[in-house]
């Protein structure tokens, strides 16, 4: 697919065709799995197609990286072994000991752990701020030290919405870069680079892969100078996606659009059921007009996503019971797969932030709404609520 066609094509067309042309020898329409660690050179230093060693580049991974760049409307994509590997590479590539990062006060527990237990020891400090409060983010910036403003929108698990365009302006005014974790929205619902973000990061384990069968991460940028830094550290640190993982992730990306439409349809049905139910104290979903970030989400997202959080009326014990009683919703960590998942963030995905400013409510339940029959999902939650 030529650059000209890519720029004009719709999302689904880019997701299916960008990054790879049918194999010249066989016409294979899918990228082969190049299970090779090294490549024959045409003379000393004569690389065939630029490939020499699969940590540096692998054709299967190259195809995925091209497709990731296309769907995020970026110039260069990078595929990693996990979302946290992608995040760690960003930190090492774009900060140095003594630098400072602003992070969400409602961040994924693994992201907080990476900053608090790994990057902090290395010498990069951080401060939390609400992504919904642009003034609070600006106040958390330390002039001359802050190199990155790190944002999730929607956040995990409280589904807080940040105004990407406004946050980009705040970061850039301070000489910092805006990094947006776009995992919850997916590239189908939101493209942060078009709104002023400098770096987009994903756990491709989630919606991009979409089938709970592969772990991966991604970084996408527009600026080629940033791309050079990220690419250098990807190779130097080595946490790359293997060819089999790259193949599965690329296969998932091709159906992202149709899957996300069903995720959103089902989530809206579930929210309609939960909202106003006396057994539920609060429903947290950006698609609700009462959500504080609804207007911003409506402006920068295509739809409102497949993630729902809610607080039960009976407190923590009832929240745990709901998780235990669900049957169609599988009790498990992660999100974004075709199957629906239910979890208790305080005891599961966000246990690492207990006792910190990022601690989540004990009565909170998080749903990753899959693509099953909507009536079955609603019926399951009705039984689980008791």
Q: Is 55 a catalytic residue?
A: yes
Return the SS3 of 172: helix
List 6, 14, 76, 206, catalytic entry: 206
Edge-to-edge strand ranges of the sheet holding 217-221: 76-80, 217-221, 199-203, 177-181, 146-152, 100-104, 125-129
Q: Is 206 a catalytic residue?
A: yes
List 73, 99, 105, 181, catalytic entry: 181
Q: Is 108 a catalytic residue?
A: yes
* Residue among 104, 80, 298 nearest 189 (CA): 298
Q: Is 181 a catalytic residue?
A: yes
Q: How many CB atoms lie within 10 A of CB 306?
A: 31
Distances in Å between the Cα of 261 and the Cα atoms of 138, 267, 303 are 35, 10, 8
Displacement of CA 216 from its chain's centroid (Å): 10
List 20, 34, 39, 108, catalytic entry: 108
What single DSSP character describes residue 359? Answer: P
| Residue 89 to residue 231: CA distance in whole angstroms | 9
Return the SS3 of 343: strand
**Beta-strand pair 76-80/217-221:** antiparallel
First to last CA, the chain: 53
125 dihedral zone (left: phi>0; alpha: psi -120 to 50; beta) = beta
Which backbone phi and psi does 269 adopt, to 5 degrees? -65, -45
Active site residues: 55, 108, 181, 206
């Amino acid at each position: 697919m030529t650059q000209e066609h890519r720029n004009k094509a719709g999302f689904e067309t880019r997701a299916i065709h960008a990054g790879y042309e049918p194999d010249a020898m066989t016409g294979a329409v899918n990228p082969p799995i190049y299970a090779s660690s090294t490549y024959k050179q045409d003379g000393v230093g004569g690389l065939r197609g630029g490939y020499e060693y699969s940590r540096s580049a692998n054709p299967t991974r190259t195809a995925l990286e091209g497709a990731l760049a296309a769907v995020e409307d970026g110039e260069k994509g990078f595929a990693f072994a996990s979302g946290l590997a992608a995040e760690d590479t960003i930190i090492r590539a774009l900060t140095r000991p003594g630098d400072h990062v602003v992070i969400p006060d409602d961040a994924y527990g693994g992201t907080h752990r990476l900053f608090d237990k790994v990057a902090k020891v290395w010498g990069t400090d951080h401060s939390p701020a609400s992504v919904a409060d642009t003034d609070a983010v600006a106040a958390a910036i330390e002039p001359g030290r802050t190199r990155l403003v790190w944002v999730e929108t929607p956040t995990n698990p409280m589904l807080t919405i940040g105004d990407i365009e406004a946050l980009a302006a705040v970061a850039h005014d301070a000489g910092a870069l805006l990094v947006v974790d776009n995992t919850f929205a997916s590239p189908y619902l939101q493209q942060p680079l078009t709104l002023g973000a400098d770096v987009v990061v994903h756990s491709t384990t989630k919606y991009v892969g979409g089938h709970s069968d592969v772990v991966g991460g991604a970084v996408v940028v527009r600026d080629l100078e940033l791309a050079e830094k990220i690419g250098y550290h990807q190779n130097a640190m080595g946490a790359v996606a293997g060819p089999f993982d790259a193949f599965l992730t690329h296969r998932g990306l091709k159906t992202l659009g149709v899957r996300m439409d069903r995720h959103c349809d089902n989530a809206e049905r579930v929210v309609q059921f939960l909202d106003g139910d006396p057994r539920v104290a609060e429903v947290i979903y950006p698609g609700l007009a009462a959500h504080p970030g609804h207007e911003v989400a409506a402006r920068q997202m295509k739809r409102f996503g497949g993630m729902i959080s809610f607080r039960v009326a009976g407190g923590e014990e009832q929240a745990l019971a709901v998780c235990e009683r669900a049957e169609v919703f599988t009790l498990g960590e992660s999100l974004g797969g075709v199957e629906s998942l239910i979890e208790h963030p305080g005891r599961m995905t966000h246990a690492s932030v207990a006792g910190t400013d990022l601690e989540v409510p004990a009565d909170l339940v998080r749903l990753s709404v899959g693509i099953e029959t909507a009536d079955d999902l609603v019926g399951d939650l009705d039984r689980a609520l008791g």
